[in-house]
Structure 1
């Protein structure tokens, strides 16, 4: 029992946290440790794997999601008109720029040009940028918005401009009629992967949708934070926003009239009967999930909240990512309390995620949890099989932190099975990946110790 809290440490570091007293309307939440930017690692070279096809849901479903993403904010506020940049988009990096950020930005911009067809590039030296990414210390961001990793603000290009404009209509997204200047504030002292994830989500929101939808399994625009880099669905949404058929200032009704034709041309494989628009997520479920997976409530309250979220999901008749996430939460909060309930929650979450378009990344997260649990049971063979199933999916998703965790679990499974040489080789091979994903050698050592303690519990049980 003493080792079960260590198992809990393997849970998603990026999961939803409790709503802070002050929240940014367009932000990415995060909880990773502050790290030094000195001797920063380079981005790992992920193995090339077949791309996931864009059309995983019907165009009627995508149309409804598109409208909710573009005409509503994370806070629930309605946006009166569509806004976008009109003309070329340039991006600049300023402040305490981490060593890995320029290369990660260049890779992202290349994807946006190739996959979304956007006219986006790095700003020239001394030129004003459409989007300015300013890197500041993490503590500076969290002193402004607690539990927020990074955020985007309109009509400003620097931290000084932002702080001067706070509390004024200048930062009010609902008053925009087109986008001209945006600023993204990202941590200068976080892990390279979190910095890259901030670039993906915040640049996408500076350019396009301002909302997140919990029922989307195939998008970064989802507060469950399972996807950490832009997906094919996200690229489709950005292509649609910048279609010549749309323009800044169009109302929801005007855009809704154009979207079906856009999708028929851009996503012909999605022309099939689907489930239609998803029900809007009730605030009671959101609050229950935030309590269950947030840091503020005690363990009994978190378990009650997870069970409440699951009950709401079932009463709503959902069969989508929200029901799966509810089961995941039940599994997560029962780690260290009720092993059978935890296993049932994860098993049901995995079953649901595997049946959902775009749910493969989520299922891989669950596989990591189950592989770690298998180590505590002394079942090295199951831990190895679960890790091997998840690793190709996570490579495709380019999630270095999760991939490194899976490989460290796999190394412990090797050792448990008497394959010591393979275990040692895998740990050495995983270190560069872990440096990018976790940021510091101290964090890598702590994660390695946590996983090793699970295996020791299984070997002595």
Structure 2
């Protein structure tokens, strides 16, 4: 389930973080430049060793996010069909077609689109308000054993919708927002379709995966494609236990990922429910600001106690920094710098560093340091592009345009600003939301800040 908090792609170091998800609308007629979107590009292969990937697979496939065990492996058999219903958009249909193409090519799945009502997986587009009434604070979610919103509402309190009771997978429904930005809908397609097909768990320790509640990755990665390929390996079948899968898993990974036999990055650590619970409170808009700040600080302390580094340490500092903005800006900036330092330890967390760069650039812009803003954001723009995150990339480019203007490079500023608006239409949707993000960044400048 992709959370609303996570799909608010970036928030700035102003008096209050921007949460554009509440007002996003489809990109229809626009006075802005033509919308840009990404061409499909093959993902980079995973960098970890097969022994670590084996542990990751078992924790992903045999545990729910809540910590409940999943008793057996389940998957679809034969051709997997996918159809769309509801208020779909041309960008949704295009992005789904590209995703199915990638799943066939990179994960080796036998999957295709269909218009038949008996499809294995139905993707239904509905207003965000309807989704949130059913599952508060959810941007989108996937449910087994149903094929429509009506069927889901009729059976929503039935054990029929419990993933842990399935002997195999036959049907599932994915519910996505019809009134969200194109990128948000695409991100939902990637995450929810991956979980409809394969693992049901998310692990904070994974730095290179959409199977992570930090939701830093917007599209399926090379690691994710390998996990799905393993899930559908011929050596496995429906109903196999964790122990049975574990015995065959080393041989499957050696066959599918021979590079992982030659080493790679070491262990990314275990699971701590205390740390997860602290992060859930920190990220929950339903809790008080003080309780959320306290929980984020506890997550930072726990990460230090466990000796964690990299993705989890960086995300704990990042969450703490977000919550300190407007409350104690000095501590907020220190937290973002600690987050950047943690993420800088590995090339697998470059996109994480790009998110932190937005926060650090905001502090420099408030000081009027245009050259400092450029130094921070310019190296991160290609990273955001490579990870197909238009919301993040356009935000970084808006910072770049403002900083170029601050340093007297007006022609360059106009060109960058125009390009940023094309990507912002995909990342943020409506003209109103694009202009709101633009005004927020411009308002950070000392000369224009009110």
Note whether the superposition's TM-score is higher than 0.5.
yes
Partner of 2:5 in structure 1? Answer: none
Matched, 1:243 2:249: no
The answer to whether the Cα contact below 8 Å between 1:11 and 1:369 also exists between their aligned partners in 2 is no
Aligned partner of 1:177 among 149, 152, 167: 167
TM-score by length of structure 1 reads: 0.89
1:460–1:79 CA distance, 2 compared to 1 (3 A): closer
Q: 1:347 to 1:431 in 2, by over 3 A?
A: same
Structure 1: how far apart are the matches of 2:211 and 2:92?
A: 21
Determine the structure 1 residue equivalent to 2:198: 208
Tell me whether 1:162 sits opposite 2:152 in the alignment.
yes
Alignment of 1:36-435 (within 5 A): 36=26, 38-39=28-29, 44-46=36-38, 53-123=44-114, 125-126=115-116, 128-271=118-261, 272=263, 275-276=266-267, 278-282=269-273, 284-356=274-346, 358-435=348-425
Looking at structure 2, the residues matched to 432 and 113 of structure 1 have their Cα atoms a distance apart, in angstroms, of 30
Question: SS of the counterpart of 2:68?
Answer: coil
Shift of the alpha carbon at 1:307?
1.4
Q: Aligned pair in 2 of structure 1 residues 115, 12: CA closer, same or farther (>3 Å)?
A: farther
- Residues 164-204 of structure 1, C-alpha deviations (whole Å, 9 max, x = no match): 11111211111111111111111111111111011000111
Q: For residue 33 of structure 1, report the CA deviation from its aligned partner.
A: 2.5
Query: Post-superposition shift, 1:9?
Result: 7.5
Point out the more displaced range, 331-340 or 37-46: 37-46
| CA deviation after TM superposition for structure 1 residue 302, in Å | 2.9
Contact 1:217 1:357 in 2 (8 A): no
Deviation per CA, 1:263-289: give whole Å up to 9, x if none: 11222222227544722122x322322
Tell me how far apart the structure 1 counterparts of residues 250 and 34 of structure 2 sit (CA, whole Å): 42
Q: For 1:230 and 1:73, how far apart are their aligned partners in 2?
A: 19
Q: Shift of the alpha carbon at 1:134?
A: 0.7
CA deviation after TM superposition for structure 1 residue 456, in Å? 2.9
Q: How far, CA to CA, are the matches of 1:401 and 1:53 in structure 2?
A: 21
CA contact (8 A) 1:37 1:99 kept: no
Q: Look up the SS of the partner of 1:133 in the other structure.
A: strand
Give me the whole-angstrom Cα distance separating, in 1, the residues matched to 2:411 and 2:141: 45
Rounded Cα–Cα distance in structure 2 between residues aligned with 1:330 and 1:155:
39
5+ residue gaps, structure 2: 1-10
Q: 1:37 to 1:425 in 2, by over 3 A?
A: closer
Normalised TM-score (structure 2): 0.91
Local SS of the residue matching 1:186: strand
Partner of 1:7: 13
Q: CA deviation at 1:55?
A: 3.0
**Are positions 1:439 and 2:433 aligned together?**
no
Deviation at 1:39, TM superposition (A): 3.5
Partner of 2:8: none
- Secondary structure in structure 2 of the residue aligned to 1:134: strand
Superposition deviation, residue 133 in structure 1: 0.2
Contact 2:48 / 2:264 at 8 angstroms: preserved in 1? Answer: no
Of 418-427 and 38-47, the range deviating more from structure 2: 38-47
Structure 2 counterpart SS, 1:355 = coil
